[in-house]
Amino acid sequence: MLYYLAAAFWLALASVPAVTAIVSISSADAHTLGRRWLPSVDKIRGVNLGSLFIVEEWFADDEWASMGCKGYYDEWSCVEGLGQQAADAAFDKHWNRWITKDDISEIAHYGLNTIRVPVGFWIKEDLVYKSEHYPRGGLKYLDRLVGWAADAGLYIIIDLHAAPGSQTGNEEFTGHSVPKPGFFTLKNYERACEFLDWITERIHTNKAYRSVGMLEVMNEPIKHRVNATDSEDMVKNFYPAAWDRIRARESKLHVPKQDLLHIQFMGSNWGSGRAETYLNDTTFIYYDEHSYLTFDTRVNQTKDGYIEGACTLYNGESNAVVGEFSLSVAHAVQSNVEFGIKNNPSNAAWYKKYFSAQVSVYEKRGGGWVFWSWKCNWIGGFNDWRWCYKYAVEAGAIPRNASEASSESPC
């Protein structure tokens, strides 16, 4: 499975109840960068840090408005609308407050062992064209964040969440919502590869990144059924190039095999092809599955139906982690008496069963799970904790100790 953390992190996790201990090494080795193993006896249990480096208005509405971005759909349009200097100042304040050191401590306290950090390619600012509009100055906050997480004993997945040219259409998470994705060109493949090469070196040479063990090369690219030509071209040309650039950088740095990054691709369930088709090597390959039952039309939209769906529908691969899922149900029923939470706080007890059912399956059939997302800010007129781990715990819909959830499953 995954190469994990050094013994320096053991003290940080020792105070967390029921979390599996990290493999111990000598204190002399605690400052080295070799640490990329998650013991097979344990599973990834984590949260995404959504809307930190790529803000999505739909679950950060108040924050977006406070930045002066109200009325703009994505980061590109806000930066273009405010002007670069004003936008940089607004985003700097956002990066400084959205996820704090206290958030990282709370994540660890809740028995979670992993964070997934979505970033846009533009955090490497020399990749941005003059004609493009993205905020500047985020890298120092990424450096600070991963350092906090390493100190807290958390494993880190860095996810290239938004690609040059945008990898899927009409989505805020790409940073630039466009009807026709522009990623699928050799020029943009090269820009993405330059990002992956650069972040790989940073991971292996910057002590703050010492608990980063997995690098995801692309989040949610266009699906085969939307544009077969683009998805096939990506699998044939971008994926092998991305793999080779990461491994070539590690080779130049003389990284030992046991410390190589796990390289992660969207799993075949996503529908953009099988990532490994043209790879020359698959050592330490991992997959990312996104399992949103809220959008799954196979689910019977009743409480029993959602529990059944959670227990039976997931069919991910053993070397995969569910990198995104939530507690949400279909929009048509999410506010009714059976599922509503704004005026029906007692429904939290059912959502706790729903959460436990999902994570038990993700742990049993794969490498674990990463909830979307840690924090939200005013979804649908209130903080809808079905998308926000922090508030779901406070509501009683998620156990305070993540490692206990699977054992409470109704499956």
How confident is the model over 107-127, as pLDDT tens digits? 999 999 999 999 999 999 999
For the question of whether the overall pTM of this predicted structure is more than 0.75, the answer is: yes
Q: How far apart are CA 93 and CA 44, in angstroms?
A: 31
CB 261 within 8 A of CB 2: no
pLDDT at residue 2, as a whole number? 40
Q: Is residue 278 part of a domain?
A: yes
Helix intervals (H) in 3-114:
10-14, 61-66, 75-82, 84-98, 101-109
Across residues 267-272, what is the average pLDDT? 96
Does residue 150 have a pLDDT over 90? yes
The domain tally of the chain equals: 1
Q: Which structural domain range is residue 119 located in?
A: 44-290
Give 381's pLDDT tier (boundaries 50, 70, 90). Answer: confident
Q: Per residue in 312-321, pLDDT tens?
A: 999 998 999 9
Three-point CA angle 239, 169, 375, nearest 5°: 90
Q: Over the chain, what is the mean pLDDT?
A: 90
Answer with the residue of higher pLDDT: 383 or 358: 358
pLDDT of residue 14: 29
- What pLDDT digit, counting tens, does each position of 63-99 carry? 999 999 999 999 999 999 999 999 999 999 999 999 9
Q: What is the pLDDT of residues 328-376, one digit of tens each?
A: 999 999 999 999 999 899 999 999 999 999 999 999 999 999 999 999 9
| Pairwise CA distance, residues 213 & 260, whole Å | 8
Q: Kindly tell me if the per-residue pLDDT of 261 is higher than 50.
A: yes
Q: What are the two backbone dihedrals, phi and then psi, of residue 8, each rounded to the nearest 5 degrees?
A: -55, -25
pLDDT above 90 for 248: yes
Is 388 among the domain residues? no
Give the residue numbers marked as catalytic. Answer: 220, 324
Q: Are 313 and 361 in contact (CB under 8 A)?
A: no
Q: Does residue 116 lie within any of the structural domains? A: yes
Angle between helix 75-82 and 84-98 (nearest 10): 130
pLDDT of residue 300: 97
The pLDDT value recorded for residue 383 is 86
Greater confidence (381 vs 5) lies with 381
Pairing of strands 285-290, 262-266: parallel
Q: Is the pLDDT of residue 26 over 60?
A: no
DSSP string computed for 334-402: TTSTTT--SS-GGGHHHHHHHHHHHHHHHHHHSSEEEES-S--B-BTTB--GGG-HHHHHHHTSS-SSG
Which pLDDT band holds residue 378 (cuts at 50, 70, 90)? Answer: confident
pLDDT-derived band of residue 379, with 50, 70 and 90 as boundaries?
Answer: confident
Query: What percentage of residues in the chain have a pLDDT greater than 90?
Result: 87
Would the pLDDT of 16 be above 90? no
Q: Does residue 159 lie in a domain region?
A: yes
The two tokens of residue 113 are 């062992």
| Amino acid occupying residue 243 | W
The span from the CA of 26 to the CA of 288, in Å, is: 33
Give residue 23's pLDDT: 26
* Predicted local confidence at residue 5, as pLDDT: 36
Q: Decide: 80 and 404 in contact? Cβ < 8 Å.
A: no
Q: What is the separation, in whole angstroms, between the first and last Cα of the chain? A: 25
Return the DSSP state at 294.
G
The answer as to whether 208 is a domain residue is yes
**Average pLDDT for residues 17-27, to the nearest whole number?**
27
Whether residue 41 is predicted with pLDDT greater than 60 in this model: the reply is no
Q: How many beta carbons lie within 10 A of that of residue 307, not counting itself?
A: 21
CA dist., res. 113 & res. 19, Å (int): 8
**Least confident interval from 5-14, 226-235, 295-304:** 5-14
pLDDT tens digit sequence for 165-199: 999 999 999 999 999 999 999 999 999 999 999 99
Structural contact between residues 145 and 163, judged by C-beta atoms closer than 8 angstroms: no
- Residue 24, domain member (yes or no): no
Q: pLDDT at position 127, please? A: 98
Say how far apart CA 134 and CA 55 lie, in whole Å: 12
Distance CA 402, CA 356 (A): 9
pLDDT band at residue 37 using 50, 70 and 90 as cut-offs: low
What is the model's pLDDT at position 36?
Answer: 60
- Going by pLDDT thresholds of 50, 70 and 90, the confidence category of residue 382 is confident
Is pLDDT above 80 for 205? Answer: yes
Backbone angles phi, psi at 293, to 5 degrees: -65, -20
Looking at residue 177, which CATH number applies to its domain?
3.20.20.80
In a domain, 361, yes or no: no
Tell me what pLDDT residue 49 has.
98
CA gap 393, 399 in Å, rounded: 6
What distance in Å separates the CA atoms of residue 31 and residue 43, rounded to the nearest whole number? 25
pLDDT at 30: 29
Chain centre to alpha carbon of residue 24: 27
Within-domain flag for 173: yes
Average the pLDDT over 143-163 and give the result: 97
